[in-house]
Amino acid sequence: MRALFDIASDDTAPQVEQVLQAQGVPGGGGRSRSPDDAPRRERARQLALQAISLYCEQAVPRGLFDELTADAFEPLLRPGEIGDSPLRQIYPDAGALALYAVTVGEPVSELIGRLFDADDFALASMLDTAASHGAELAAQAIKARWREHLLATGRLQPTTGIMEFSPGYCGWEVTAQQPLFARLRPAEIGIALNSSFLMQPLKSVSGVLVAGDKEIFMFDPEFECCRGCQARTCVDRINSLVAESGLD
């Protein structure tokens, strides 16, 4: 099944604490030791709230998913792949796979540029952070839509987990964007790919959704690709997967 969705921008609005944390502001995990933190934290909080409000006004989130078989996915995994990777280990045991792409649209990126041009650097930076989170939340919204579809078609079990992977991460080479785009056709929701495999609008996310028994997603981050990885988001992702119920 292939499906396109418009998503309400409010549904992809990040929490103020998420934005502050990404900006390194305490309350959000920053490391300031100054005794006069409170007024500056409050000032940053007001900026974050303003940025989130602007994000909700400007964002036009859209997404799509397109289911495919493991055999059809194999060629998308292969280009440029070096060695083993978590996804290569996981996807053959998946119960279902779907390519996906989401974007929050170009207007929010244009506004970020205008704010920088107007020397409104702090708000521009805050809005950039909010939009990045917004794109990730849009991806979660598409994942939720696919989960609903799996449930409706009787493919979601209590032990089923869904995890998303994107080219450029976890050993899946970014060059895979090209075959992924050729198959998924996200131009229909306004996403283009440039020769560097960069998506435009910038605040877009693409990849594959993998559904299967939660056990298939349990891996030790000791692959070759894990050595240079500083993010290590896989640990949180696996923990979240363990915590969630397949039939929620």
Partner 1 sequence: MDLLTRLSESLQGGDADQVAELTRQALAAGLAPKPILDQGLIAGMTVVGDRFKAHEIFLPDVLLAAKAMYAGLDLLRPLLAKAGVATGGRVVIGTVRGDLHDIGKNLVAIMLRGAGLEVIDLGKDVAPERFVAAAQEHGAQVIGMSALLTTTMPVMRQVVDLCRERGLYGKVKLIVGGAPLSAEYAREIGADAYCFDGVNAVDVVKRYLGTA
Q: Are the C-beta atoms of 206 and 177 separated by less than 8 Å?
A: yes
Looking at 83, 154, 158, 196, which residue binds partner 1 (CB under 8 A)?
196
Which two structure tokens, joined as six digits, stand for 240?
């979240």
Locus of tokens 């991460």: 169
Looking at 8, 29, 38, 121, which residue binds partner 1 (CB under 8 A)?
121
172 by DSSP, 3-state: which?
coil
Least Cβ distance, residue 129 to partner 1 (angstroms): 9
- Which residues face 2 on adjacent strands? 66
Least Cβ distance, residue 111 to partner 1 (angstroms): 13
- Which residues face 193 on adjacent strands? 199
| By the rule CB under 8 A, 175 interacts with partner 1 | yes
Q: Are the C-beta atoms of 162 and 211 separated by less than 8 Å?
A: yes
* Cα 26 to Cα 221: distance, rounded to the nearest angstrom: 29
By CB under 8 A, how many residues form the interface with partner 1? 34
Question: Measured from the CB atom, is 44 or 142 closer to partner 1?
Answer: 44
Question: Measured from the CB atom, is 27 or 95 closer to partner 1?
Answer: 27
Residues 51-110 that bind partner 1 (CB under 8 A): none
Residues 23-42 that bind partner 1 (CB under 8 A): 23-26, 30-34, 40-41
